[in-house]
Structure 1
């Protein structure tokens, strides 16, 4: 017989956003369960940056410290498991895990993040998060004034070009096929001396994730030390959608300014809801979400 354990809040996803929400709820004496599979998307990233007091630390070290601090709050339980399904109940929601356990709560928080859909270019996956990177704020300083490429096209490439050119003028855009820029954008790129390379990438040559050069289909090679890449993504978990949560046109979970999803009682935070992918952003959204969920529970019981 399955044992059902009741909580005030279940947080699905226990990385930075989920743990931040858990701390806010634990300090507010709300019985909170955090379920996490232990497979963060930034596991390969050697260092985290642009987060005050933790600049340069490994993502794992930050998570370990967060878990150690949260363990001091008896109202929070951390569970290493994977959520397989969820459904609405008369009192809220029921969540089932891979190990067959079932938990209920009146509120859910999804902090499950997103899954990057990496191109099948040899060497790309091995360099992802190390020297093939997504964010100039997270990684750009470490590669400033070095030979840099941008693997993107159109508006996304043009947006990155301005940010990355600020860090390195030794810059080129790799569209991996026909370029999609307006004449005005081409003029600006030319004015700043940023060439556009349209030949397809065949291989990324690296040493233990450190980019050495990019080989192109036309036979040319580009000696690069960093490559910014705008890759498509999908939600790491399909459970929010199965519960009725609306996704934005870009693929994020739609939330309002208080991190409510389109389903009453379900909240979301972190990379699931925002294109600003950083530890600092995840912690901030998790903290606010925890506060909003606590307010919702308090209002229901006090008013």
Structure 2
């Protein structure tokens, strides 16, 4: 099946991109594997008019709205490969079907790589979180912790006291320098140098953490900055350039979300150095309108 544009990945970025193309009366196919980065969260927060809805419900609403446009189609499936073919591109889905288009929009997202700590993954997106603006309000005014994972952890620890009393666990790897120590202590942050070795409480709740020296610290929420990697190999398959972001590599794009490969656009977390649902949707809008422009002017 051929179309003007194939959008790989649904969620906030992919559906936002496809909506612009559908409204421009272009044939667009969205191929979505149904495994967005935020699927571990019970609700998505901070997105205008959809605050508190589950990621799956937001996706269902987006698919229903897009389906009202006669030039749009949504396909459930995982794209295993993508390549240039003539003046356009072809993709193969896990069902074995092949789809072709003049332009591609990649919105395949990122995969979070969490620290190897027992009990942490089971609580991810619930009581172990990363972004206070996305989920911090639900854990407000409780005893909170920040577990160091990289250079930005001290910055994270400095902002969390606005949501509750905060302890910063250096984990033997990210001890604050004198200037950072001054900032943290001025914000009321307690600095703990003994590493967290166990999360306590009945999942998904947290009642505290056990430290390497045997002590326990009462906690009800834990912030962790994970490393992030591409959720799909497609950008690499196509030869897109990458650049380093705060949490890991992202696809290099220009202001119109064009990648280094002509005809390929990237949107959402995989192309944004700073990431949340609203920014993902906005980048999808830009990628969709830019792809439409490229079709109009033969770019």
- Give me the TM-score of the superposition, normalised by structure 2: 0.94
Residue matched to 1:198 = 193
Range with greater deviation from structure 2 (236-245 or 185-194): 185-194
> How far off its partner does 1:154 sit?
5.8
Matched with 1:263 is 261
The one of 59, 62, 70 aligned to 1:66: 62
Alpha-carbon shift at residue 85 of structure 1 (Å): 0.9
Instruction: Give the drift of 1:193.
Output: 2.8
- Distance in structure 2 (CA, Å) of the matches to 1:43 and 1:128: 10
Q: 1:56 aligns to what?
A: 52
Tell me the equivalent position of 2:3.
Answer: 7
3-state SS of paired residue (1:180): coil
| Corresponding residue SS for 1:126 | helix
Q: Does 1:129 align with 2:116?
A: no
263-272 or 180-189: bigger deviation: 180-189
Whether 1:26 and 2:19 are equivalent positions in the alignment is no
Judge conservation of contact 1:11–1:109 (CA < 8 Å) in 2.
Answer: yes
Displacement of 1:294: 0.7
Is 1:282 equivalent to 2:280 in the alignment?
yes
Give the number of equivalent residue pairs: 296
Give the superposition deviation at 1:88.
Answer: 1.0
Distance 2:150 2:118 in 1: 24
Q: What is the CA-CA distance between 1:254 and the residue it aligns to? A: 0.8
SS of the equivalent of 1:146 reads coil
Query: Aligned partners of 1:46 and 1:212: how far apart in 2?
Result: 20
Deviates more, 1:54-63 or 1:155-164: 155-164
Distance, in Å, in 2 between the alignment partners of 1:36 and 1:130 is 24
Supply the distance in 1 between the matched residues of 2:202 and 2:52 (Cα, whole angstroms).
Answer: 21
Partner of 1:291: 289
Aligned counterparts of 2:69 and 2:296: Cα–Cα separation in 1: 19
Q: Runs of 5+ in structure 2 lacking a partner?
A: none
Cα deviation 1:89-145 (Å, max 9, x = unaligned): 111111111111111111110100000111221110111011111101111222222
What are the residue-to-residue correspondences of 1:83-232 with 2, within 5 Å? 83-152=79-148, 155-168=151-164, 170-232=165-227
Give distance in 1, aligned partners of 2:70 and 2:203.
42
On the 8 A contact 2:109/2:269 being kept in 1, the answer is yes
Q: Which residue of 2 aligns with 1:75?
A: 71
CA distance in 1, matches of 2:151, 2:3: 45
TM-score, normalization by structure 1: 0.93
Q: Where do 5+ consecutive residues of structure 1 fail to align?
A: none
User: Do 2:109 and 2:231's aligned partners in 1 also have CA atoms closer than 8 Å?
Assistant: yes
User: Which of 247, 253, 258 matches 2:251?
Assistant: 253
Tell me the distance in 2 between the aligned counterparts of 1:150 and 1:68: 39
Report if aligned partners of 2:130, 2:225 keep a CA contact under 8 Å in 1: yes
Root-mean-square deviation (CA, aligned residues, Å) is: 1.5
User: Are 2:148 and 2:173, in contact at CA under 8 Å, matched by a contact in 1?
Assistant: no
What's the CA shift string for 1:207-236, capped at 9, x where partnerless? 331222112221111211111111111100
Query: 2:61, 2:204 → 1: CA distance?
Result: 26
Contact in 1 for aligned 2:149/2:224 (Cα 8 Å): no
Distance 1:72 1:55, change over 3 A: same
From 218, 222, 228, the counterpart of 1:233: 228
